[in-house]
Amino acid sequence: MTGKKISPLRRPFVLAGVAVGAMLTAWYLYNNFGRVTLVPDPIWTRFVNVALIMFSSIYLANLLRHLVEFLLKRGQR
């Protein structure tokens, strides 16, 4: 099987994105249960917001990985 080579930095960056997403999700849910707002969001809104937080944090971590790999390749020239 000749496919694309998987970067060794992929897993650490994805795990870092998951960790950041989990922290942001915990912060969002903590603030949403009446601490900041008088009426918490409906349950479907919470599910959507948690999914968006997790997706965006993992996606941004992946973009950061691509930037780091580009800078490492550029520095080796």
Tell me the pTM.
0.84
Stretch among 6-10, 13-17, 34-38 having the lowest mean pLDDT: 34-38
CA dihedral 6, 7, 11, 13 (to 10 degrees): -140
- Rounded to an integer, the average pLDDT of 7-36 is 92
pLDDT tens per residue across span 54-73: 999 999 999 999 999 999 99
Bigger pLDDT: 21 or 42? 21
- List, in order, residues 6 or more apart from 14 with CB less than 8 Å away: 58, 61, 62
pLDDT of residue 34: 66
